[in-house]
Amino acid sequence: MKKDLTTVSRRAALQIGAGLAMAAQASGPASARPHKAVSPVSVSWLDGAPNADAAAVWGCPWPQGALPKSTRFHLSGEKAGGVPLQSWPLAYWPDGSLKWTGHAACVPKGAGKLAVAPGTPLRPDDALVVDKADGKIRIRSGSLLLVLPMKGPVLIETVALDGKVLARQGRLNVLRRDRAETGEGATQTDGFSGEIEAAVIEQSGPVRAVVRFDGHYSNGARRWLPFSVRLSLIAGSNSLKLAHSFVFDSDGQKDFISGMGLKFDVPLADELHNRHIRFGGDKGGVWAEAVRNLPGWAEKKFAYAAQFRTQLDGRKVPALAEMDEKSRGQLQSVAAWGDFKLTQLSPDHFAISKRTTSKACWLSADHGKRASGLAYIGGVSGGVVFGQEDFWQCHPSALEITGARGEAATAAIWFWSSDAPAMDMRHYDTEGHGLEINYEDVQPGHSTPLGVARTTTAVLRFVSSTPSRREFSAMSKNHGKPPVLLADREAIHAAGVFGCWSLVDRSTPEKAEVEDKLAALTSFYEKEIDRRQWYGFWNYGDVCHSYDSDRHSWRYDVGGYAWANSELVPDLWFWYAFLRSGKPELFRMAEAMTRHTSEVDTYHIGPFAMLGSRHNVVHWGCGAKEARISQALLRRMYYYLTADERTGDIMAAMVDADSALVANDPLREILPPSAYPTHARSGPDWFAFASNWFTAWERTGETRWRDKILTGMKDLAAMPDGLFSGTPFGYDPATGHLHDLGLAFKYSYHLATIFGGAEFMFELLPLLPHKEFAEAWLRYCQYYNAPEEERRRVINPAATNKHFGYPAWHARLTAYAAKMKGDSALAQRAWDEVFYGAGQMPSSHSPLQIDKVAPPEVLDDLEEMPWLGGTNHASQWSLNLMALLALVPEAAPKDLRGVWKPQKL
């Protein structure tokens, strides 16, 4: 039976949100007093300041104990003075002081360097006003008025600018086929509309308004595909953002989505030759035409031919009434085009087509590589700029306009283009292929898409005139790479958040060389994403797991060697690499991966809800469903940096992931049932649970989440061999207790800390002191990589090397022990482990060598690192090096000329 957690997820999110609001109003001994020396947090645009006013939402960190919950905030621009700001709490330190705050503003062009500081916020002149009456929500922002029904098939009733309705009847729709291929016989296509069942005002100004809608797609006969839409608007901006998230609640065997998108109507009063279409292409390119073009090609016959260029630029040309009868007749003889569409069915090609009516053929109008995902429909008196973020990356997508010759056109943002083959959610084979050769763990009923999700962000901008080609080009560039405002990495580091990491430091030759290696590896992956075309609606954001040097390709088609699905946490690798360097491309890689792994690789409803899927050819294909993939640790950096509500919802919905192990024991194939409800390993399982609870604790201040962590810490510390016990334990989700099963040194420990467990412990322990657990953790760190004789003598005679693999992947544990004990010998050992231990990058090359391969060995010229092995190596090697640079930088070898040559410890 399907377990529907849609309402549970929503309730969990609302509870955590309510906890934040209540905690913000609380006072008492735990609240910190204002710290006189609190420095403003500088915030900067990721890719440089945009060329226009820009709406932004971001997070700011604050040092522990610095600011009480009641603190208000002010935003200032070096050249703009005060900027209206709205703020809210995102997280708290254990002492109750503010840890992260969310902020929203419309930043004026040329504002200069920006900073957030405690102070009285500036209120906008045209503050947002949100009210609810008669079953509708109304949002007024200056001259813009939105009317939003709270239930029913219409998402947006009307949007008016200066009293003129520019858009109406915004609605969601889905097309479904009963088979993937149309050539197998008769294919039935059904249409579904998005039915709003609930609406909640989450923010109501004065700067930002947010409304969340929840519902299902329905056609009367069937109700399926639960969805949410979060609509947001910032004062000073005439743009709406709509984040559409849906959950696939079918097994995929008979349901093939052939179209999904948002439609709305645009009233048109201007004459046909004063109505305009715009599509954004690549690199600021613009396709711009009128519904009826002036015949500029007939300059000797048509009196107004010289105004064709004026028309193409979107400016008003004479009305029919202003023309002589001959000119009117000539113009009316020119074809009027009613329908237009831009389809991006692959990452490297888009096509623009148009036709006069639905009874006529489509005409190919133009082609390009990567469209920005922005369009315009309207007249010289105004219209709507509309589009989709990550447009070409998340193909197949499309923008479509129909009925432009009538009284109202219909605009469509196709998240999944109706011109593309239907969405096929089935597994890649009807049988499994085994662990031994293919590293695949397929189990009956487990390769299911039931419960996976995807979010697409649509943008609507309302304008009072047609944008010129130059204006639309600027809009298109900004849309293709949306402006992102972030707290400066120096402020993030100074606040002491996200555990143990350091800023890039090239102050010595040896540090500079290590930094160069790290940068070279992330740069290779950035190019590899594009080179290997890791794009698509269900794929964008992930990277592949293992490389096949014989085929000069990743093992995209081999069992568990295909997609990475957060295996050995490349998510954390990308995020820490960004935090250290501030490189924009690393932020976008980490952002895309966070969105993908939190949505697609994680189950949101159904029998595997709150768990994620292990790596496979298909993202949901593996039989192993585990909390290590769905854990909050992999999402929280993105959430705190951007204040993204959808990510917050997902983290809240995963908080009870440990309860899912009762029906989905992670060790069911290895161990028989015990006296306890299920099994859990210290890592990756309990560390993942604890990261969920820690995130809930810091977001709400509710100590019940802290206490769940303490329960596990006490249990682990009290085990016969401490953290060297297990790692499998008996586990009871109802109590949170772990129970020893006498399995110490029966299984390998190498997976315990490499799914983020080490990074999480480095962050947790200073914030949640527990003497016995801290001692057990330090002991584990010191002796995991210790020489076998020493480990057996100190820990247990059974602690032989066969239970402790990949020294290079655990060098950060040794470094932590060295830091805590002030032991220079351990510090040196840590560097030796990362350079010479098994699991280090298998390269004798310096710098990391990239080989070029040409046809006929491959289809096209490419570059590769054939010795790389895969993302496991890249992630863990990088994470360990970054940790060593933070923990024991002074012990880095002074001469690195020979350290890249692999040697076996």
Domain boundary, last residue among 251, 278, 309: 251
Tell the residue number behind the tokens 């993939």, with chain if given: 629
Banded pLDDT at 867 (limits 50, 70, 90):
confident
Spatial separation of the C-alpha atoms in residues 820 and 793, rounded to whole Å: 22
- Residue 36 has a pLDDT of 53
| pLDDT per residue as tens digits for the range 217-232 | 999 999 999 999 999 9
Mean per-residue pLDDT for 354-372? 98
CATH (domain of 753):
1.50.10
Domain membership of residue 410 (yes or no) is yes
Domain membership of residue 105 (yes or no) is yes
Spatial separation of the C-alpha atoms in residues 806 and 873, rounded to whole Å: 10
How many Cβ atoms sit within 10 Å of the Cβ of residue 548?
16
Inform me whether the pLDDT recorded for 292 exceeds 50.
Answer: yes
Residue 550, Cβ density class (10 Å: 0-12 exposed, 13-18 middle, ≥19 buried): exposed
Mean per-residue pLDDT for 886-890? 97
Looking at the fold, whether 209 and 351 belong to one and the same domain comes out as: no
pTM of the model: 0.94
Domain boundary, last residue among 65, 87, 118: 118
Looking at the fold, whether 33 and 152 belong to one and the same domain comes out as: no
Looking at the fold, whether 471 and 518 belong to one and the same domain comes out as: no
Inform me whether the pLDDT recorded for 4 exceeds 70.
Answer: no
- Residue 842 has a pLDDT of 52
Mean per-residue pLDDT for 41-67? 97
Looking at the fold, whether 294 and 321 belong to one and the same domain comes out as: yes
Tell the residue number behind the tokens 């001959």, with chain if given: 326
Domain membership of residue 486 (yes or no) is no
Domain boundary, last residue among 421, 451, 480: 480
Domain membership of residue 901 (yes or no) is no
Looking at the fold, whether 208 and 341 belong to one and the same domain comes out as: no
Where is 639: in which H helix or E strand?
Answer: helix 636-642
Looking at the fold, whether 100 and 155 belong to one and the same domain comes out as: no
Range of the domain at 183: 129-251
Looking at the fold, whether 297 and 363 belong to one and the same domain comes out as: yes
The DSSP line for 83-106 is E--EEEEEEE-TTS-EEEEEEEEE
Tell me the three state secondary structure of residue 757.
helix
- Residue 840 has a pLDDT of 63
Tell me the three state secondary structure of residue 213.
strand
Domain membership of residue 897 (yes or no) is no
Looking at the fold, whether 155 and 204 belong to one and the same domain comes out as: yes
Query: Which token pair is 78?
Result: 């070096």
Average pLDDT of the chain? 94
Query: Which token pair is 556?
Result: 């995209």
Domain membership of residue 876 (yes or no) is yes
Domain membership of residue 524 (yes or no) is yes
Mean per-residue pLDDT for 33-39? 65
Domains in the chain, number: 4
Looking at the fold, whether 731 and 813 belong to one and the same domain comes out as: yes
- DSSP letter (8 states) at residue 38: P
Tell the residue number behind the tokens 């149309």, with chain if given: 182
Domain membership of residue 156 (yes or no) is yes
Looking at the fold, whether 12 and 90 belong to one and the same domain comes out as: yes
Looking at the fold, whether 462 and 319 belong to one and the same domain comes out as: yes
| pLDDT per residue as tens digits for the range 120-152 | 999 999 999 999 999 999 999 999 999 999 999
Query: Which token pair is 853?
Result: 């391969």
Looking at the fold, whether 100 and 152 belong to one and the same domain comes out as: no
